[in-house]
Chains A and B, each alone.
Chain A
């Protein structure tokens, strides 16, 4: 079956521009996570959607970052007024259940480069 997909796979933008990253989770997965991976660093948690509950936004680094999810489907991560330090690979993951004990399935990521 189809896995988690993300688009675009690569995005190059100029400093100050807004970008929108998309994640299509596996159908039926209730939980969705966004992570950021900077070069040479581990995955950094950004935000977690859990069914119909309020999302856990505690990992968002600034108010320039926001994310939405419609029901249990597509999610978009928006970065406004991009800065060079936003350059990273942004990973999306989904899981069937809402506990961390449930296996997270990762997408291939979106590589964002801010010039």
Chain B
């Protein structure tokens, strides 16, 4: 079955340290990949997306993600985090089954420690 896995439910990181949030999916066909962020008391907003082309995608707020087809991964990274990055991060995948549905992971709560 096609699925999206975010293994880390919570990630604590010290301020100004680097962070990587992991996302893996199971599919043998082409996919579209997304990262959404939900700041406290706000709705989800798109951080970045991969549709085609360069496997390194840059998004808002200094985040980037790299699509690795062989490892079926789309990990999110930031070289130096800030307090304002405290939020929940969701990976989402469109498995291109002929519909427009996104399948979301269970989310990773990023907590920045001052």
Q: Write the residues of chain A forming the contact surface with B, with a CB cutoff of 8 angstroms.
A: 3-4, 31, 35, 40-45, 48, 50, 56, 58-59, 91, 93, 98-101, 103-109
Contacts and interface: CB of A to CB of B under 8 A. Distances in A.
B44 A48 contact: no
Interface residues of B, number: 25
A104 B106 CA distance: 18
A101 B106 contact: no
Interface of B: 4, 6, 9, 32, 36, 41-46, 49, 51, 90, 92, 94, 99-107
Give the dominant DSSP class at A's interface. Answer: loop
A100 B34 CA distance: 10
A98 B99 CA distance: 10
24 contacts: A3-B43, A40-B106, A41-B106, A42-B6, A42-B90, A42-B107, A43-B92, A43-B102, A43-B104, A45-B103, A50-B100, A56-B100, A58-B101, A59-B101, A98-B100, A100-B32, A100-B100, A101-B32, A101-B94, A104-B46, A106-B44, A106-B45, A107-B43, A109-B43
